[in-house]
Structure 1
Amino acid sequence: MKHPVDVHVGKRIRHRRWMVGMTQQQLGDLVGIKFQQIQKYETGMNRVSASRLWDIAHAMKVSIGFFFEGLDADVRDAAMADIDAPKEKGDLMVDREAQELVRSYYSIPEEQRRRLFDLARVLSDVA
């Protein structure tokens, strides 16, 4: 059975990899493992050792803590439901459109991105 922490860390690896536009093959090459192992990490099938997580964080230019952000909520939700159950509609990071929107957003220069963020906030307050 998959452990909720392994599933969460795997999701965060997949999320970050996708956000930086990296393939499983590319990440595997950077850390010296096969892409199939990256797949297993991302699904939570295999646990990521501390040293491997260190290598992955370095390759994707994030701190180790990135992979544990939001963990408390995921562990609580997993305890209340089956981990392998289909994702709820509210899980935005599963939605490809949301992922593409976030990736595009972060490719915008910072000053313009701040203005876009303010606009989105105003529009969402109106709705």
Structure 2
Amino acid sequence: MRRMLIGMSQEKLGESLGLTFQQVQKYEKGANRIGASRLYQIARVLNVPVEFFYEGIQVDDAVETEGMAEAEPSNFDFDMLSTSEGIQLNSAFFAIRDPKVRKRVLELVKALGETEAPGLSDGADGAAADGELVDET
């Protein structure tokens, strides 16, 4: 998912890791297991923490990590990137070339996220049961 999100080909990822693109394909399809050291390398190339690849696993904040590694403070929601909508949103956002327009879109999304409109949970938001937007005009 992350490789596609940043527009990196399997071949380019393979080159960065010293692998063939076929091996990258096998990793992505789950045909071959990925060792811990290789997973760490992939995370570094894709610029994500290793936890990114452990979808659905909750990190225990109570674990003492002092002296083990540098803390990486982050409020980024990686779960969003594991959804089709998240990838589409990210791709569409970065397709906007004008930085002023991108900034306005970001402001709009932030404003929408800060307010919880009444009725959104009961289907009154213009969404069909399958999640597709419905034109109500």
TM over 0.5: yes
Counting helix residues as a fraction of each chain, which structure ranks higher?
Answer: 1
TM-score interval for Structure 1 and Structure 2 normalised by the shorter chain: 0.5 to 0.7
Distance in 1 (CA, whole Å) between partners of 2:38 and 2:18 is: 10
Residue 109 (structure 2) aligns with: 116
Gaps of at least 5 residues in structure 2 are: 59-81, 97-101, 126-137
Return the offset for 1:118. Answer: 3.6
Contact 1:106 1:113 in 2 (8 A): no
Question: Offset of 1:104 from its aligned partner?
Answer: 2.3
Which of these residues, 30, 42, 46, is aligned with residue 16 of structure 2?
Answer: 30
Structure 2 letter corresponding to 1:16: R
> What corresponds to 2:90 in structure 1?
102
TM-score (norm 2): 0.53
Q: CA RMSD in A?
A: 3.1
Identity %: 36
Corresponding residue for 2:47? 61
Of structures 1 and 2, the one scoring higher in RCO (CA 8 A, sep 6+) is 1
1:81 corresponds in structure 2 to none
Q: How does 1:70-85 map to 2 (within 5 A)?
A: 70-71=56-57
User: Who wins on radius of gyration, i.e. which is larger?
Assistant: 2
Residue matched to 2:36 = 50
DSSP-derived class of the 2:52 partner: helix
TM-score after normalising by structure 1? 0.57
